[in-house]
Amino acid sequence: GENVEQHPSTLSVQEGDSAVIKCTYSDSASNYFPWYKQELGKRPQLIIDIRSNVGEKKDQRIAVTLNKTAKHFSLHITETQPEDSAVYFCAASKGSSYKLIFGSGTRLLVRP
Amino acid sequence: DAGITQSPRHKVTETGTPVTLRCHQTENHRYMYWYRQDPGHGLRLIHYSYGVKDTDKGEVSDGYSVSRSKTEDFLLTLESATSSQTSVYFCAISDPTQSGNYGYTFGSGTRLTVV
């Protein structure tokens, strides 16, 4: 089955700097790659997603890139702010069940 | 909030007892999922449903069963709770066929402690 690996497990950046989180997936048939943000004690929430027919997608300060050949995708956050501090999860899915397989998460700390 | 609720929010139970968690949605979404969240493991899929009475196993289904008798309700049962099932359980819904949106909406979670 699908396996998603996520790195790093923790990331600390200075406010205003950029943050990059990387994920690799094992199943070349995977075609949907979302990113979720989870604040402490809250539910995960979708922040951006990309499908396999697109190489890059941006939404204000966040962007996701996908390299299908290498089977990896990345989340980029520019001009980080303290409110970006949270745990971020990548995920992958394929086929008609739409079930997501998640990475193990990255705890991002943005230092003021 | 977001048309999906989980109950109970918190539960403490004893080893060996059966436990049922409920997920209720008002979005008429076809797909429903149960995940557990543990430190260092992210979110792991337990079971999912793609319609009434249609369910399938996920990555970590041993010791769990599910039922979906109505579109709006998806029940997760721990047949005989063990300490290893202490976790936070999240329900999620989606319906790409309805909205074209593949993303999940998660419930608020149930924190289960097995003592």
Between CA A45 and CA A105 the distance in angstroms is: 13
B50 contact residues in A (CB cutoff 8 A): 96-97
Asked whether the predicted pLDDT for residue A1 surpasses 90, the reply is: no
Give the contacts of A95 (CB within 8 A, at least 6 positions apart).
Answer: A29
Give me the total of CB pairs closer than 8 Å, taking one residue from chain A and one from chain B.
57
Do B54 and B70 meet the contact criterion of CB atoms below 8 Å apart? no
Angle CA A18–A105–B49, to nearest 5:
130
Between CA B44 and CA B59 the distance in angstroms is: 7
C-alpha distance from A4 to closest chain B C-alpha (Å): 10
Specify the pLDDT at position B71.
Answer: 96
Q: What digits encode the pLDDT tens for the residues B18-71? A: 999 999 999 999 999 999 999 888 999 999 999 999 999 999 999 999 999 999
Lay out the sheet containing A4-7: strands in order across.
Answer: A4-7, A19-25, A72-77, A62-67, A56-59
